[in-house]
Amino acid sequence: MSRHEARIPVATLDAPVFAEPWQAEAFAMVVALHERGLFSWAEWAERLSTEVKRPEAATDGSDYYERWLAALERLLAEKGLAGHEEVDAVAAAWERAAHATPHGQPIVLENDPKRSSGL
């Protein structure tokens, strides 16, 4: 059977594109940064391709959005837009804010206990 004759299972068509909200957010960040001219689509494709070909990448593609995020972080660092330490610091602040935010409320960086205490 050729690839043109293969049928896509109906269940696949109903599956969400993103398994987690952070995946959609990472996708949107790349598109927004590209639209602002911070990198070309060719640069992005090259960086993402490098990430998905890394030996530690899942062969079944199950870590695709982890690779997407790693590609974004590396590209930001290469462009001098945000270093790994900066990305890690902001990620940690969001994590603290998430834990400090009451259930059902929007997570905002102002909820980070270290931020509000001036640390």
Three-point CA angle 36, 42, 48, nearest 5°: 95
Q: What pLDDT shows up at residue 12?
A: 62
Max intra-chain CA distance, the chain: 64
Q: 26-45 pLDDT, tens per residue?
A: 999 999 999 999 999 999 99
Whether the per-residue pLDDT at 84 is higher than 80: the answer is yes
> What average pLDDT is seen over the chain?
84
Tokens found for residue 117:
């205490």
Measured in degrees and rounded to the nearest 5, phi and psi for residue 60 equal -90, 0
| 101 and 111 Cβ atoms separated by less than 8 Å | yes
Angle between helices 21-35 and 64-78 (to 10 degrees): 30
Measured in degrees and rounded to the nearest 5, phi and psi for residue 21 equal -55, -35
Is the pTM here over 0.75, yes or no? no
Q: What pLDDT shows up at residue 11?
A: 47
Q: Where are the alpha helices (DSSP H) in the chain?
A: 10-14, 21-35, 41-52, 64-78, 84-100, 113-116
The model's confidence at residue 83, banded by pLDDT at 50, 70 and 90, is confident
Handedness of CA 70, 75, 78, 82 (dihedral sign): negative
